[in-house]
């Protein structure tokens, strides 16, 4: 690997690495401000990701759509998510985290707006596909950005806190649907307009910094030094004198062609990529097998649309305390063990939900599924980002997240087949098996990453 010469610091010594300088920083207003901006884009990303699930019962009634057609439109989002994750990850490794974050946020917000103007199944299919491209692209870039901008000792907690705020977008979207869809024929369109409100994100992005780790790895050492100096000044102003940097931690640049898939292979991360692709594939089938279908399946089970949306809205609130729990435990114990344990809990709660026919039991265990899923999600986001080296982090995360999302292009079709052939309960047995597969894979093959310094 080629190395670049370093500009000398004022004291005459080579600059310390971005990783060492960022990891030793105390938590400050800079970190909280960055987290707030990321939470804003996650709020509408997560709301938009679930918008079709809440719009589907009203849309199905108005357009007289079959379960198979709903499954096909749902699949479009996940085909788009595969494309977005694969392309956005590689692009971010080339153009930088900040610019990629802005571009993907604008993409999914604009595409969400297109959903509101769909006039047929093909146009809605196309709009959902385009929305999926932006949604997963933004998620891959954001999870990498969080991993690179926050100190290693708190990055899991911040990932969870950001998602905790962002996840409020799910019940918020559910309640938008609950009140607007029964109110008017155009109510389902308003749900998609709501999902486009992250269009205002570029107005606030001057408060975000580019990742110094990415700049350093690209050989832009002077730019990395400028960004690090601004961050350190902001933190010192808020918290006082900063801890010293380890004397052995020297900045390094990498050759211009040593990144992306090439870097992924050269770094020996192929095995981790294969593991995480499998984990994301199985969790996607389990996660969206539940989230994307609960409103429609409840309606098919005999509940009215108003009652279905009321129950779905109540269930979705569980996502917020789930992320809060994740923020408390993420950096306390080894992440791979937590991921496996929570996956088993999700599967168990989901199976109990599927065996229940009492309204209160459905709401209680649906709430517990939503909550435990969002304990799981921040853990896997943090784990995925920290499993790859900086020069290939977005590429590795994009492969894992993207191919996992491609799995759900067939997931809705599996759910539709099981429901129409074997009934309501079979869907939840399938979901439980997906979560069992996640726990098994992580337990057997997952590396330990707690408090690891990102390479």
Angle at 409 between CA 96 and CA 86, to 5 degrees: 15
pLDDT band at 160 (very low <50, low <70, confident <90, very high): confident
**Mean pLDDT of the 319-346 span:** 85
Lowest mean pLDDT among 76-85, 108-117, 127-136: 76-85
Whether pLDDT at 252 is above 60: no
**Mean pLDDT of the 344-355 span:** 86
Kind and range of the H or E element at 284?
helix 270-291
Between 76 and 450, the higher pLDDT residue: 76
| DSSP letter assigned to residue 150 | S
pLDDT band at 14 (very low <50, low <70, confident <90, very high): very low
The confidence score (pLDDT) of residue 446 equals: 80
Whole-number Å distance between alpha carbons of 230 and 224: 10
pLDDT band at 262 (very low <50, low <70, confident <90, very high): low
Residue in 122, 131, 124, 128 with CA at minimum distance from that of residue 59 = 124
Phi, psi of 16, deg, nearest 5: -80, 155
The confidence score (pLDDT) of residue 134 equals: 92
Whether pLDDT at 294 is above 70: no
pLDDT band at 128 (very low <50, low <70, confident <90, very high): very high
pTM for the complete prediction? 0.73
**How far apart, in Å, are the Cα atoms of 90 and each of 57, 130, 258, 396, 398?**
37, 18, 13, 9, 7
pLDDT band at 299 (very low <50, low <70, confident <90, very high): low
Query: Which tokens is 176 given?
Result: 């938008």
Query: 189-211: per-residue pLDDT in tens?
Result: 888 998 889 999 989 888 899 99
Residue whose token pair is 């808020």: 238
Lowest mean pLDDT among 158-172, 309-323, 359-373: 309-323
Query: 83-105: per-residue pLDDT in tens?
Result: 888 788 778 888 889 999 999 99
| DSSP letter assigned to residue 257 | T
**How far apart, in Å, are the Cα atoms of 450 and each of 112, 322, 333, 339?**
36, 20, 7, 12
Between 40 and 73, the higher pLDDT residue: 40
**Mean pLDDT of the 151-170 span:** 84
Query: 218-243: per-residue pLDDT in tens?
Result: 888 999 999 999 999 999 999 888 88
Query: 387-435: per-residue pLDDT in tens?
Result: 777 666 767 777 787 777 777 767 777 887 887 888 777 888 888 999 9
Q: Residue 138: exposed, middle, or buried by beta-carbon count in 10 A (0-12, 13-18, 19+)? A: buried
The confidence score (pLDDT) of residue 440 equals: 94
Query: 357-385: per-residue pLDDT in tens?
Result: 677 777 788 888 888 988 898 888 888 87
The confidence score (pLDDT) of residue 454 equals: 52
Whole-number Å distance between alpha carbons of 432 and 345: 9
Buried b (16+ CB within 10 A) or exposed e, 192-225: bbbbbbbeebeeeeeebbbbbbbbbbbbbbebbb
Distance between start and end Cα atoms, the chain: 14
Phi, psi of 444, deg, nearest 5: -80, -35
Q: Which domains does the chain have, with CATH numbers?
A: 19-243+263-445 (1.20.1250.20)
CB-based contacts of 435, cutoff 8 Å, min separation 6:
282, 283, 286, 343, 344, 346, 347, 350
The confidence score (pLDDT) of residue 39 equals: 94
Between 363 and 337, the higher pLDDT residue: 337
Residue whose token pair is 């990701």: 49
The confidence score (pLDDT) of residue 263 equals: 63
**Mean pLDDT of the 298-325 span:** 69
Average pLDDT, the chain: 81
Whether pLDDT at 1 is above 60: no
**Mean pLDDT of the 30-56 span:** 89
Between 5 and 129, the higher pLDDT residue: 129
- Collapsed DSSP state (helix, strand, coil) of residue 124: helix
Between 453 and 140, the higher pLDDT residue: 140
Whole-number Å distance between alpha carbons of 257 and 300: 54
Highest mean pLDDT among 11-20, 167-176, 295-304, 386-395: 167-176
The confidence score (pLDDT) of residue 37 equals: 94
Residue whose token pair is 């692209």: 137
Lowest mean pLDDT among 235-249, 289-303, 346-360, 370-384: 289-303
């Amino acid at each position: 690997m080629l190395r670049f010469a370093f500009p000398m610091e004022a004291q005459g010594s080579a600059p310390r690495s971005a990783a060492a300088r960022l990891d030793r920083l105390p938590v400050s207003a800079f970190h909280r401000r960055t987290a707030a901006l990321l939470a804003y884009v996650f709020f509408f990303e997560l709301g938009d990701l679930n918008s079709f699930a809440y719009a589907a019962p009203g849309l199905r009634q108005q357009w007289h759509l079959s379960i198979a057609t709903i499954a096909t439109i749902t699949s479009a989002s996940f085909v788009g998510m595969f494309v977005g994750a694969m392309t956005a990850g590689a692009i971010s490794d080339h153009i930088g985290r900040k610019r990629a974050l802005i571009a993907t946020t604008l993409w999914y917000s604009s595409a969400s707006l297109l959903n509101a103007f769909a006039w047929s199944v093909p146009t809605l299919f196309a709009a959902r596909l385009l929305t999926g491209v932006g949604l997963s692209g933004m998620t891959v870039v954001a999870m990498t950005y969080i991993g690179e901008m926050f100190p290693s000792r708190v990055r899991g907690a911040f990932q969870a806190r950001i998602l905790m705020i962002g996840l409020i977008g799910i019940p918020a979207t559910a309640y938008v649907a609950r009140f607007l869809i029964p109110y008017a024929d155009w109510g389902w369109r308003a749900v998609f307009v709501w999902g486009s409100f992250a269009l205002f994100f570029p107005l606030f992005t001057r408060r975000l910094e580019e990742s110094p780790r990415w700049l350093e790895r690209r050989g832009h050492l002077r730019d990395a030094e400028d960004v690090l100096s601004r961050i350190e000044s902001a933190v010192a102003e808020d918290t006082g004198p900063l801890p010293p940097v380890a004397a052995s931690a020297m900045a390094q640049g990498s050759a211009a062609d040593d990144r992306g898939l090439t870097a992924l292979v050269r770094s020996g991360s192929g095995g981790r990529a294969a593991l995480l692709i499998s984990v994301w594939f199985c969790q996607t089938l389990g996660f969206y097998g539940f989230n994307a279908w609960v409103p429609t399946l409840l309606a098919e089970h005999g509940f009215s649309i108003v009652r279905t949306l009321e129950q779905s809205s109540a269930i979705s609130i569980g996502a917020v305390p789930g992320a809060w729990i994740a923020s408390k435990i993420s950096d306390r114990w080894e992440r791979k063990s937590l991921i496996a344990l929570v996956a088993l809990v999700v599967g168990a709660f989901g199976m109990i939900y599927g065996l229940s026919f009492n309204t209160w039991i459905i709401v209680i265990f649906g709430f517990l599924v939503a909550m435990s899923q969002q304990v799981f999600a921040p853990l896997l986001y943090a784990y995925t980002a920290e499993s790859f080296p900086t020069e290939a982090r977005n590429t590795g995360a994009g492969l894992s997240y993207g191919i996992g999302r491609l799995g759900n292009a067939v997931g809705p079709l599996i759910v539709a087949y099981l429901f129409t052939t074997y009934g309501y309960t079979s869907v939840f047995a399938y979901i439980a098996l997906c979560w069992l597969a996640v726990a098994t894979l992580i337990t057997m093959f997952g590396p330990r990453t707690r408090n690891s310094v990102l390479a």
